[in-house]
């Protein structure tokens, strides 16, 4: 099933059963789901099969970063399992990204390939320690442009970065944005948050929402509240 919704619900659970218990409360016509490193490492491809079997499109958020041939193989494996979106670290460089994008193209996969620029947990000092002297914002823009030049379809970015990336890379370049907090939700450990409608206005193409939906008493009601907010904006 494919959906027009910009919402991607993060299934941050330690087991297949817990993740499916949440997925069974969601409607694949109204959201996509994201599978990250912990869930995939514990449950393996079975989680993808189970989610696809329930009609969900899946963003496999494994942030690959390795030599070009290895990353291309991993991205191909994800695409063969039918995922809707997969990602790599842009800091793996142009050749790594080009070879991965070409692998998908050569096999006619429609899987979206996007990149993470700078992890939001990295501050200027952290970058500096790794030999990157640029400020995080500057490095984000540099890597977003490199991602686009390397033939990928978009980036994961904070909503604060979305407007500038939109201006530089155009509106067709996907901007997948976590750190989303509707008015009714707690910030949790997210530092820089934005409401769903502000994030869309800032140029996001997709919104990654975790706890505001998954920890709600009624997840579909929380999702409906977000849809209402988006529709009203």
User: Is residue 210 part of the contact set for ligand C5P (CB under 6 A)?
Assistant: yes
Q: 6, 204 in Cβ contact below 8 A?
A: yes
Site for ligand C5P in 131-170 (CB under 6 A): 156
Q: Nearer Cβ to ligand C5P, position 107 or 192?
A: 192
Q: Tell which residue, 119, 147, 115, 229, has the closest CA to residue 180.
A: 229
Site for ligand C5P in 68-107 (CB under 6 A): none
Q: 97, 88 in Cβ contact below 8 A?
A: yes
The Cα–Cα gap between 166 and 204 comes to 8
The Cα–Cα gap between 229 and 233 comes to 6
Interface pick for ligand C5P out of 19, 60, 207, 209 (rule CB under 6 A): 209
Tokens of 78: 């994800």
Which are the contacts of 25, defined by CB distance < 8 A and separation ≥ 6? 219, 220
Q: Which residue lies nearest ligand C5P, judged by its C-beta? A: 210
User: Is residue 120 part of the contact set for ligand C5P (CB under 6 A)?
Assistant: yes
Q: Nearer Cβ to ligand C5P, position 68 or 219?
A: 219
What minimum distance in Å lies between the beta carbon of 106 and ligand C5P?
29
User: Is residue 62 part of the contact set for ligand C5P (CB under 6 A)?
Assistant: no
Residues that bind ligand C5P (CB under 6 A): 10, 12, 36, 120, 156, 178-179, 188, 190, 208-211
């Amino acid at each position: 099933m494919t959906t027009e919704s910009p919402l991607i619900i993060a299934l941050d659970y330690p087991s297949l059963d817990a993740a499916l218990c949440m997925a069974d409360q969601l409607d694949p016509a109204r959201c996509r789901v994201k599978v990250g490193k912990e869930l995939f490492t514990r449950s393996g491809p079975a989680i993808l099969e189970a989610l696809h079997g329930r009609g969900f499109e899946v963003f496999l958020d494994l942030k690959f970063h390795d030599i070009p041939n290895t990353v291309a193989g991993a991205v191909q494996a994800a695409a063969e399992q039918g995922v809707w979106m997969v990602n790599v670290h842009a800091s793996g460089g142009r050749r790594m990204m080009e070879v991965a994008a070409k692998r998908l193209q050569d096999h006619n996969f429609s899987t979206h390939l996007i990149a993470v620029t700078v992890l939001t947990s990295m501050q200027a000092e952290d970058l500096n320690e790794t030999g990157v002297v640029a400020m995080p914002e500057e490095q984000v823009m540099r890597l977003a442009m490199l991602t686009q030049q390397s033939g990928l379809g978009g980036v994961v970015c904070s909503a604060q970065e979305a407007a500038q990336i939109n201006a530089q890379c155009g509106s067709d370049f996907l901007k997948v944005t976590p750190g989303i907090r509707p008015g009714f939700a707690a910030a949790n450990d997210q530092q820089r948050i934005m409401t769903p409608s502000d994030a869309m206005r800032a140029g996001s193409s997709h919104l990654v929402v975790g706890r505001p939906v998954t920890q709600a008493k009624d997840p579909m009601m929380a999702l409906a509240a977000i849809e209402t907010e988006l529709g009203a904006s």
